Structure 1
Amino acid sequence: MAKRPLLVGNWKMHGDGGDLAVIVAIGEAARRHPAVDVALSLPATLIDRARRVCPGLAIGGQDCHPEPSGAHTGDISAPMLREAGASLVLLGHSERRQDHHEDDALIAAKLRAARAAGLEVILCVGETAEDHAAGRSAEVVRGQLTLSLAGMNGQGIAIAYEPVWAIGGDRTPEPKEVAAMVGLIRNTVAGARVLYGGSVTPDNGEALFVDGGIDGFLVGRQSLDADAFTAILKLIDGTAR
C-alpha cells in the first residue's frame, strides 16, 4: 500500500522572526495540497512562534538531548521540544554526525528519548564520498540503521536517505541509485516512510520522486524559499496522484 507523501524542510541554523512570513506562506501552500504531509524543522527559537502563526503546519526540532532534563548547558530535551509545540525532530543528520561527532549509539539514545516524549522522528542516514567511491554505501547505511534504531521498529519514524556527498552541492545520485538504497532501507526498517535529501530542487525532484521509489523529500536550502519549497510540494502532489 502506498504511503502518504511527506515533505520536510530543514532550516538548519537559519531564520529569525523576520522569516515568519515564509513559514506562513509554506503553511498556506500545505493547506492547498492536503494529500501531502508537510513539516518544517526549525531552530528552537522559532518553534513556538511558528506554531502560533501557522497552527496547522507540523513543526519540528533539529536535534534533542537523550536525557529529559539535567545539567546539559546549551542542549534541549525532547520534552522541551514537545512543550514548545514541536511534533517531530530530526536525528542523525550528517552535520551532527560529522561536526559534533555523534555516533549511532548516541543517536539511538536520542531516538528513544524522542519517541518517549511523543515526537515523531526523521532519522537521517547516508554515506560519505569516500564510502560511496569505495562501494561501501549499502554497508554504511545498513549499519547506521541497525545501530541507530537498536531494535526499535519503524513506528513513528521516517528514514531520510541523505548521501553526504550530495548535501549542499550540485551533485545528486541517479534515481536508480536512490531506488536501490530505498529498497535496502525498506528491507531493514519495515513500515517506515523513506525520504530522499541532498540538493533537492524543483528541477531534479520529479525524476527522483518518480523513479527513486521514495515517499517524499527532506529539503535543506530550498525550504528557506517559500516559492521553491511550494514548487517541490506541487510536483509531489501532482506525481503522487
Structure 2
Amino acid sequence: MAPRKLAAGNWKMNGTLGSMDQIDALAEGHGGAACDILICPPAQLILPAVQHGKGIIKIGGQDCHAESAGAHTGDISAAQLMDAGATHVIVGHSERRADHGESDADVAAKAAAAHAAGLIAIICVGETEAQRDAGETLEVIATQLAGSIPAGASAGNTVIAYEPVWAIGTGRTPTNDQIAEVHALMRDKLQGQVDGAADVSLLYGGSVKPANAAEIFALANVDGALVGGASLKASDFGAIITALDAA
C-alpha cells in the first residue's frame, strides 16, 4: 500500500449554486483520473456539489464542530456533513486557527469528531512568516502534529496538509528543499502516532497553481495538494489534477 494521491480544493467563502458548473466540468474532464479529487465548498453547497460530482468528485466540509449536536448556533457537525454526502472535512486550517483562535487541542477534538462520524479528517499544520524567519519551522510543525492528531488516527481516516501561513494566497511558495524538509519531518513524526504512518497522504498547500504543481508533486513525501484560489476554476484545478496524475 502507498499513500493515496489527493487533489483537494478549498473554496473557502466563495461559490454559489451557479458555481456547480465548475464541478460539472471537473467530473466530465477527469473521470479517469488516477488520483482522488476533492472539493470543499461552503456548507450550503455540499449537497448540490455531491449531486453534480456524480461520484467522481468527492465533496468535503471546511470545518466541523467537536460536538455531534447541540446549542451551537452557526456551527455544523461532522455527522451533518456526512449526512449531506461529504467524505472529508478540513480541520485546523490556519485561517480557523488565526481568525477563531483554535488551538491544537481544538483541532484534535474536531478531527476525533470527524473520525467518529466516518469522515476523513484533513488536519492542517503550518508556520507563520515570523516563525519561518526565526528558524522555528520544524519545531512548530512537530508541536502542531503532536497536539492536533487525535488517538485512533490512521492512514484510512486522516490526511495531513502542510500549509505555510505566509504562502497562502500570497503567490509566494517555499523552495522545493523547504517543502521536502517539512514533509520528511511529518512522515517521521507520524511514526508511532498514526496507524499506518507510511501510508498517510501528505498534502502541500500554499499558492499551488498549474505553473508550479508538477515540480512540487515530484518531491518526496508530497502526495498531493490542498489548493485554494486555483480550485475555483475547473480549468486551473484540472491542470493541477493532471500534473498530480503524471507525478
Same fold (TM over 0.5): yes
Helix, strand or coil: the match of 2:160?
Answer: strand
2:160–2:203: 8 Å Cα contact kept in structure 1?
yes
Following the alignment from structure 1 to structure 2, what is the Cα–Cα distance between the partners of residues 117 and 150? 14
1:166 aligns with 2:167: yes
Alignment of 1:1-241 (within 5 A): 2-33=2-33, 35-56=34-55, 57-155=57-155, 156-189=157-190, 190=197, 191-239=199-247
Deviation of 1:154 (Å): 3.0
C-alpha RMSD of matched pairs (Å) = 1.2
Deviation of 1:212 (Å): 5.0
Helix, strand or coil: the match of 1:211?
Answer: coil
2:187–2:221: 8 Å Cα contact kept in structure 1?
no
Deviation of 1:220 (Å): 0.3
Runs of 4+ in 1 over 6 A off after TM superposition: none
C-alpha distance after superposition, 1:189-229 (max 9, x if no partner): 22311000000011111111113530000000000011000
C-alpha distance after superposition, 1:2-44 (max 9, x if no partner): 42311000000001111010011112233131x1111101111
Helix, strand or coil: the match of 1:39?
Answer: strand
- Number of residue pairs aligned between Structure 1 and Structure 2: 238
Counterpart residue type for residue 215 of structure 2:
A
Structure 1: give runs of 5+ residues left out of the alignment.
Answer: none
Following the alignment from structure 2 to structure 1, what is the Cα–Cα distance between the partners of residues 60 and 94? 17
C-alpha distance after superposition, 1:78-132 (max 9, x if no partner): 0000001111100000000001110011111111100000000111100000000
Following the alignment from structure 2 to structure 1, what is the Cα–Cα distance between the partners of residues 245 and 149? 30
C-alpha distance after superposition, 1:125-149 (max 9, x if no partner): 0000000000000010111110011
Structure 2: give runs of 5+ residues left out of the alignment.
Answer: 191-196
1:175–1:212: 8 Å Cα contact kept in structure 2?
no
Gap change, CA 1:203 and 1:212, over 3 Å in 2: farther
1:30–1:36: 8 Å Cα contact kept in structure 2?
no
For normalisation by structure 2, the TM-score amounts to 0.93
Percent identity, aligned pairs only? 48
